[in-house]
Amino acid sequence: ASHELRSPLAVISGALDVLESRGEMSDRDYHTLARIRRASRDMTADVNVLLKLARGSADEDTVARLNLSESVQDTIADLANAYPDQAPRVVYTTETNNSVKVVADPALVRMLIRNLIQNAIQHTRSTVIVCITRTDLWVSDSGHGLPGSVIDRLREPPKDRPKVMQETTFGLLIVQLVCERLGWQMSVVRSDDRGTEICVHFDQSGAAL
């Protein structure tokens, strides 16, 4: 799996180098190339994270001091590029003046935020609200709620989880695994016919480093 996932990314990166070295593109083309390169780098980091999570690897994560609000806004901007018709439905709010800092692996945090928002977008056609407080990241929608079986799976201890997950649970399973890796906590606060509200309680203990 490692080889099959990484080889195409290496080809993409090499092809971008070739295009850039020719010097035959317009400024707009270089801007587009930069977006592709960034997406390729992010995808490489995501592949490494997924492989690490799948293996239960004890390897140390690459940590950095992150502005969580900026991470959320960057993720929303990336989703807007990928799904321009869905972007207007995502509303970001904060109670912290965009000043919440965490120390964590940037790839893990990006994957957590993206999967939370994408899961909400896929399960409702209404507004998705993303909110940051000083201790929590909230994502809420007004869909039909998660199936009871999904909520039960998310509440199961790691040792009791099924080896095969349904497609509809995979994004939230990734969020749960990332939270466990970061030492954060995810909880389904509400999920009914009025929608779903998920809270991620994060650790700021090393934010001043």
**Per-residue pLDDT tens for 152-209?**
777 766 555 555 545 455 778 889 889 988 999 999 999 888 889 999 999 776 555 4
Q: In what order do the strands lie in the sheet with 90-94?
A: 90-94, 128-132, 136-140, 195-201, 185-192
DSSP conformation letters of 23-87 = T---HHHHHHHHHHHHHHHHHHHHHHHHHHHHHT--PPP--EEEEHHHHHHHHHHHHHHH-TTTG
Closest C-alpha among 162, 152, 143 to residue 188: 152
- pLDDT of 95 reads 80
For residue range 49-107, what is the model confidence (pLDDT) as tens digits? 888 777 776 667 788 999 999 999 999 988 887 778 887 899 999 887 778 999 999 98
- pLDDT of 5 reads 76
pLDDT band at 137 (very low <50, low <70, confident <90, very high): very high
Q: Which three-class secondary structure state does DSSP give residue 124?
A: coil
91 near 129, Cβ under 8 Å? Answer: yes
- pLDDT of 1 reads 63
CA dist., res. 204 & res. 101, Å (int)? 7
- pLDDT of 73 reads 92
- pLDDT of 113 reads 94
CA dist., res. 53 & res. 175, Å (int)? 11
Q: Which two tokens stand for residue 108?
A: 């893990």
- The residue with greater pLDDT, 120 or 6, is 120
- pLDDT of 158 reads 59
